[in-house]
Amino acid sequence: MIAPSGAGCGRSGFDFSGIIRNRTNCGSRKGSLQEKKDMNIIVVKDYNEMSYQAAQLIAEQITKKRKSVLGLATGSTPEGMYKELINLNQGDKVDFSEVITFNLDEYYGLPPEHPQSYYFFMWNNFFKHVNIKKENIHLLNGISENIDKECAQYEALIKKSGGIDLQVLGIGNNGHIGFNEPDISLNTKTHLVNLTAKTIRANSRFFLIPLRKCPNKPLLWG
C-alpha cells in the first residue's frame, strides 16, 4: 500500500491508494478470504512520488511476468500513475504487449462514449497511449441488457485468465474500496450496487449536473 504523508493526497478525495499483489484466486470467488499476509506500507512525501512508486511496482510485476493480469482502477488519484506508466512504455522501459487487464468497476447506465464512463477514462488516460492489445483489455459494460449475465461473464473471464496478479485500488472518504461501501460483504461476486449519498456527492463534481441526476449505481467486483 502506498500512502502520501499527511492527511491525504489532495486529489480525488482518496486518502491513499493500494496495490495488492498475487491475488491468484480472486477470479474464483470461493467465498473465503485469501491467506493473510503482512501489508507493506510505503509512505511517500507527495502525490508525484506516490504515482512514481505505484508505476514502478506495476513495471516490476510486468518485468517478472510478461503476461501479467492487472486489475486497474479509475479516478483522479491514479492519473499520475498512468502517466508514469505511459512514459515508461514510450521509453521502452516496460512492455504491455502481453499484459491482460480487468477494470474494477463501471457506472450503470453510462455508455462507453460518455466522457465520465470508466471506459472513456481508461482509453483516453492510458490504453491508447501504450502498446497493449485491445483483445487483452476487459471493462464492464454499464449498459448491458442483462446485468446478471454481464457480471457472471466478467467473473468467468477473470478466472479463465488465472486471477489477478496485481490489483490497483483506491480507498474512499468513507472507507469504500472501489465502490464497495463499508457495509457490503467482503465475499460478494461482481455485482450491481447502490452507492451511499456521501459517495454520490463526492463524485458529483465530475458530472456538472444536478446531484439527483448523477449515477447512483455501478457494476463492480466484490
Out of 22, 95, 181, 191, pick the active-site residue: 181
Order the strands of the 105-107 sheet from edge to edge: 105-107, 218-220, 191-192
Q: What is the pLDDT of residue 219?
A: 86
Whether pLDDT at 143 is above 50: yes
This prediction's pTM = 0.81
Please tell me what DSSP assigns to residue 50: H
Does 22 participate in catalysis according to the annotation?
no
Residue 218 phi, psi dihedral angles, 5° rounding? -120, 160
Whether pLDDT at 187 is above 70: no
Q: What is the pLDDT of residue 75?
A: 85
Residue with cell 515508461: 88
Query: Can you say whether the dihedral through the CA atoms of 35, 38, 43, 44 is positive or negative?
Result: negative
The set of residues, in sequence order, having a beta carbon less than 8 Å from that of 181 and lying 6+ positions away, is: 174, 193, 195, 196, 199
Whether pLDDT at 26 is above 80: no
Local confidence band at 37 (pLDDT 50, 70, 90 cut-offs):
low
State the Cα–Cα distance between residues 209 and 222, nearest whole angstrom. Answer: 29
Domain ranges for the chain, please list them.
Answer: 2-220
Whether pLDDT at 159 is above 70: yes
Does 174 participate in catalysis according to the annotation?
yes
Q: What is the pLDDT of residue 51?
A: 96
CA-CA-CA-CA torsion for 114, 119, 120, 121, nearest 10 degrees?
120
Local confidence band at 206 (pLDDT 50, 70, 90 cut-offs):
confident
Local confidence band at 9 (pLDDT 50, 70, 90 cut-offs):
very low
The span from the first CA to the last CA of the chain, in angstroms, equals 19
Q: What is the pLDDT of residue 31?
A: 41
Out of 176, 180, 203, 216, pick the active-site residue: 176
2-220, CATH topology level:
Rossmann fold (3.40.50)
Q: Which residue has the higher pLDDT, 26 or 180?
A: 180
Q: What is the pLDDT of residue 39?
A: 77
Local confidence band at 54 (pLDDT 50, 70, 90 cut-offs):
very high
Out of 146, 174, 187, 194, pick the active-site residue: 174
Does 176 participate in catalysis according to the annotation?
yes
